[in-house]
Amino acid sequence: MWLWLLALLGLWLLRRWHRERQTVPGLEEKFVLITGCDSGFGNLLARQLDARGLQVLAGCLTESGAARLRAAASSRLQTVLLDVTSSSSIAAAAAWVQERVGQKGLWGLVNNAGTANPTAPNEWLRKEDFMAVLNVNLVGLIEVTVSMLPLLRRARGRVVNVSSMMGRLSGFGGGYCPSKFGVEAFSDSLRREMRPFGMKVSIIEPGGFRTGMTDPKAAAKELHRLWAQLPAETRASYGRRYLETYARRSALLHRLSSPRLSRVTARVQHALLSRSPRSRYAAGWDALLFLLPLSYCPTWLCDAFVAFLMPKPDCGTP
């Protein structure tokens, strides 16, 4: 009995492996829009897809970032200035994309633009600090996606949302983790809604990777700025040692993060180009071997792990 079950499981895995290796045809005719291409995952992905012959439409926040990307790619790649927190910028980009894709529609949308700072204990933050992250990572992602859906539906295309393992396991304060939980929820509902139209929606869940978003110097500077604005009573409750330990551990996590951004972009490419993309992709050994299994563990175990990593308030001198 068990041998038959193992044989069936093996055949199913072999069939899935074979289907996932098959690539959609006509790559040179497919348009893909990527947000957040000034640096990091978006920049690397844009250059990789351009090298494979796709028609890459790269959304960049700054003209200097767009110029650097154009210099590193072929003449096929086109850039557009796109601020995902601005409705007018999104509307202008949608019209620009419409002009270029025409009746072919948009094959792929990669929502990659993101930010993490300010990251700090929740009590140290104001509403504006949370919204600064949520507006980029979640609200902007939703608005960009909704504006592109008619073009994506025309091509029976793909939406790939870059989330995080912190969308499964919240490890620190600030707007980043809530925004990634929101990305997961939005992606799930969108996938189910778009299935009848032949569209596919995938989520990428990276572990720790070194990008400009995780710059420890910028994070420490922001942390000290927030500390200076706290009431004296709050600073006394946490203690100066808490602040310094929090900053050191953030820097340590950055150093332990992987510099191999291609581990993420390879999964984005699979989600865009495979005949049978997956709904979710974990990226990075820390995500696959530790964070993903931990996210399925009892709450008390997750709490104990996060508590071990976090500094302890010592009621020191403010």
- The half-sphere exposure of 3 on its side-chain side, counting CA atoms within 13 A, is 0
Helix %, strand %, coil % of the chain (to 5):
60, 10, 25
Q: What is the rounded distance in angstroms from the CA atom of residue 34 to the CA atom of residue 106?
A: 11
- Alpha-helical (H) ranges within 195-317 are 216-229, 232-238, 240-256, 262-273, 285-286, 292-295, 299-309
Integer angstrom CA distances of residue 297 from 176, 206, 291, 310: 22, 19, 10, 19
In three-state secondary structure terms, 194 is helix
Q: 207 with 282: CB under 8 angstroms?
A: yes
Within 8 A by CB and 6+ apart from 124, the residues are 173, 226, 227, 230, 234
Q: 80 with 63: CB under 8 angstroms?
A: no
Find tokens 């995938």 and name the residue: 202
Q: 60 with 38: CB under 8 angstroms?
A: yes
**Which one is catalytic: 176, 238, 246, 281?**
176
176 classed as catalytic: yes
Beta bridge partners of 109: 33, 159
In the chain, beta strands by DSSP E: 31-34, 55-60, 78-81, 108-111, 158-162, 200-206, 280-283
Find tokens 């984005």 and name the residue: 268
Active site positions, annotated: 176
